[in-house]
Amino acid sequence: MKKIRINHLYSQSMNIYGDIGNIKALLHILDLHNIPFEIFSTEIGDNKVKEADIYFLGGGQDKDQYSVFKDLLRHKSFISDEVKKDKVFLLICGGYQLFGKFFLDAEGNFIEGLGILDIETKAPDNKVTSRCIGNIVVKLNPDFIQRFDIDTSFSDYIVGFENHGGQTFFKNDSLIFLGDVIQGFGNNSFEKKEGCNYKGIIGTYMHGSFLPKNPHITYGIINRALHNQNINAIKMDKTKLIYESKAHKYILNKYQIV
């Protein structure tokens, strides 16, 4: 079987609130199903982005985003081509913002994004009270469930932790939300909508880490990468997801959601 290749983009610069747990969750499930994998990263100054099946970009503080955005822009045409090929991208928080048109931080610094996602992000000011911080629970959008063939027998929610000053808005109808916010903020303080899906891209404000608490999404991501290689989908074995299930249900119970 061909290897599933994972490229951790800017692993040294964009990795906050345990985002590395997303990579660990992917490797754990690949291992569980005896699927061979290869993991590598792309860092500031690298000549090119090594081709992969799944790309991951974590979150970061404003200054981290500032330090990587120019480097990322050098790779715009390669990444755009990969998106066109339906490659899978998981983007968390600051990483999600960097795939949009821009992030204007509270100091007025303009951080240009790749513009692959037609979204814009602005931080209103530096006040802690203006930030979106805390646990977040989202009811999955049926369109997203269908596009990523998410096994909702595990759950039709996703849970995580968010901490962002940026307020994100869609500028185009070709994007869909990951779901409706039941607890927390999501993309911004107004719309009660979280995250974004466009082709193989999943953008989300969920840290926490995201995938270890949401294995149905891990399976969706891996299955999409397998599908791109004409390999049959793997089925979730819930008896092997005891800790993931406990972590997921803990948050749902805390907010009396199920």
Binding site for ligand GLN (CB under 6 A): 16, 59-62, 65, 93-94, 123, 163-166
- Between 106 and 231, CB nearer to ligand GLN: 106
Do residues 61 and 16 touch, judged by C-beta distance below 8 A? yes
Task: Verify whether residue 207 is a known catalytic residue.
Answer: yes
Do residues 141 and 177 touch, judged by C-beta distance below 8 A? yes
CA pair distance 61, 165, nearest whole angstrom: 10
CB of 166 to ligand GLN, least distance (A): 3
Query: Given 8, 207, 216, 248, which residue is catalytic?
Result: 207
CB of 40 to ligand GLN, least distance (A): 22
Do residues 123 and 166 touch, judged by C-beta distance below 8 A? yes
- Between 6 and 93, CB nearer to ligand GLN: 93
CB of 76 to ligand GLN, least distance (A): 20
Query: Given 93, 132, 216, 248, which residue is catalytic?
Result: 93
Do residues 6 and 37 touch, judged by C-beta distance below 8 A? yes
- Between 91 and 241, CB nearer to ligand GLN: 91
> Could you give the residue numbers annotated as active site?
93, 207
